[in-house]
Amino acid sequence: MASDGGTMINSKAASIKAELISNKKAGSYNHMVFSVGELAAHCKPGNFVAIKVGGPTSAMVLRRAFAIYRASMRSDGMGLLELVVAPYGNGSKWLASQEAGSVVDVIAPLGTSFGIPVEPVNALLVGGGYGSAPLFALAETLKQRGCRVDMVLGASTAAKIYAPLEGKRSVNSLTITTDDGSAGTMGRVSDVLSQLIQENEVDVIYSCGPMAMLQAITEISTAHDVVHQCSVEESMACGIGVCMTCVLPVQGDDGVIRMTRTCVEGPVMDGNRVLWSTSREIPDGVWGK
């Protein structure tokens, strides 16, 4: 059950001009749909896109990375790419402000995808805030493989839980947690995981969200001897493996720790291989240090 790991940019990636088909508010976020032609057929759950933001005269020279929410091919041959955008920074605010008919510069699909089991397993999907976006398409894929799929969605408050109704339709059971108790169970996703793992006899956890959340999930998955595939949220300046700003210390199959590019060898990684508690410093034992 491995990801599409490798040392080169995603072989299916291409740079295209994508037309924005629709842009609708969805709670605290924007649900955006782009026409991307045949490129949609190559996008898998866990892949991301890198979008040029700000327009031709903008000082924002770096692309912004966004996880793919869903990709599909319509019966008329149109390929659609859907994103969930949180308009927080200048780049995401610019993108969220675009209207239908606008054209943006997109590179997709990028990065690794979630590994899909060849036989039915019991899977637990865990998402934090808009980080849960790529998990919905993953849930559909896993269900098609005959897997039992349970989901946990967490956020600071109810307004930041993305698409809870869709989540409920997509899985066998949905658990919601909020820091302030405004929806579901008061607390964090990590507070409910141990019980769900035991009750549902979970074989694998898939997660996407803030790094602190991913670290907490890894600690729990390790304690229960459960596989943990996580999509890491690390800042990516280029998205294609050139700038080295998104590196994380990861232990390879050979036991060697290397500073690994999350945009190329990730963003989907084996959570148990990531050295989470490094305070963004290169730890002792890294190859070459």
- What's the confidence (pLDDT) of residue 1? 46
Tokens representing residue 144 in the block: 């098609």
Angle at CA 56, nearest 5°, toward 54 and 59? Answer: 55
- What's the confidence (pLDDT) of residue 280? 61
- What's the confidence (pLDDT) of residue 130? 83
Tokens representing residue 137 in the block: 């398409």
All structural domains of the chain, each given as residue ranges with its CATH number in brackets, are 14-110 (2.40.30.10), 122-233 (3.40.50.80)
- What's the confidence (pLDDT) of residue 97? 97
Q: What pTM was estimated for this model as a whole?
A: 0.91
Mean pLDDT per block of 10 residues along the chain (289 residues) reads: 57 95 93 96 96 87 93 92 94 96 96 96 94 92 96 93 78 95 95 97 96 96 97 87 89 90 95 83 69
- What's the confidence (pLDDT) of residue 266? 95
- What's the confidence (pLDDT) of residue 59? 83
Q: Is the dihedral of CA 256, 257, 260, 262 positive or negative?
A: positive
- What's the confidence (pLDDT) of residue 155? 93
